[in-house]
Structure 1
Amino acid sequence: MNIEEFRNYCISKKGVTESFPFDEHTLVFKVMGKMYALCGLERVPTQVNLKCDPERAIALREEYDGVIIPGYHMHKAQWNTLMIEQLPPKLILELIDHSYELVVAKFTKKLKAEFDTLE
Structure 2
Amino acid sequence: MDSDGALRYALGKLGAWPDSPWGEDHRVAKVGSKIFLFPGTVDGRSTITVKNTEAAVDELKQRYPELARAARYLDKRLWVQLAIDSVPDDEVCELIDDSYDQVVAKLPKSERPG
Q: Normalising by the residue count of structure 2, what TM-score does the alignment of the two structures yield?
A: 0.90
Which residue of structure 1 lines up, in the alignment, with residue 14 of structure 2? Answer: 14
Residue number in structure 2 paired with 1:27:
27
Work out which of the two has the higher radius of gyration on C-alpha atoms and give 1 or 2: 1
Question: 5+ residue gaps in structure 2?
Answer: none
Give, in whole Å, the separation in 1 of the partners of 2:42 and 2:59: 28
Contact 1:18 1:30 (C-alpha < 8 Å) held by counterparts:
yes
Q: 1 CA distance for matches of 2:61 and 2:41?
A: 22
Q: Distance in 2 between matches of 1:69 and 1:92?
A: 15
How much is the aligned-residue C-alpha RMSD, in angstroms? 1.6
| Bigger mean CA deviation after superposition, 40-49 or 53-62 | 40-49
Mean Cα displacement is larger for which, 94-103 or 33-42? 33-42
- The runs of at least 4 aligned residues of structure 1 exceeding 4 Å deviation read none
Alignment of structure 1 residues 5-84 onto 2, 5 Å: 5-40=5-40, 44-84=44-84
Moved more, 81-90 or 16-25: 16-25
Can you list the C-alpha shifts for 1:36-62, whole angstroms capped at 9, x where unaligned?
A: 001225752111111111111011101
User: CA–CA distance in 1 between the matches of 2:102 and 2:47?
Assistant: 20
| Offset from partner CA, 1:5-48 (integer Å, 9 cap, x none) | 21210111111111110233221110012110012257521111
Match of 1:92 in 2: 92
In 1, Cα distance between equivalents of 2:46 and 2:29: 16
Give, in whole Å, the separation in 2 of the partners of 1:43 and 1:20: 21
Structure 1: which 5+ runs fail to align? Answer: none
Question: Does structure 2 retain, via aligned residues, the 8 Å contact 1:49–1:72?
Answer: no
Q: Which structure exhibits the higher relative contact order, with contacts defined as CA atoms closer than 8 Å and separated by 6 or more residues? A: 2
Q: How many residues align?
A: 114
Please give the alpha-carbon distance, in whole angstroms, between the structure 1 residues aligned to 2:19 and 2:42.
Answer: 16
Select the structure that is richer in helix: 1
Q: Per the alignment, in what secondary structure is the counterpart of residue 38 of structure 2?
A: strand
Aligned to 2:27, the other structure's residue is in SS state strand
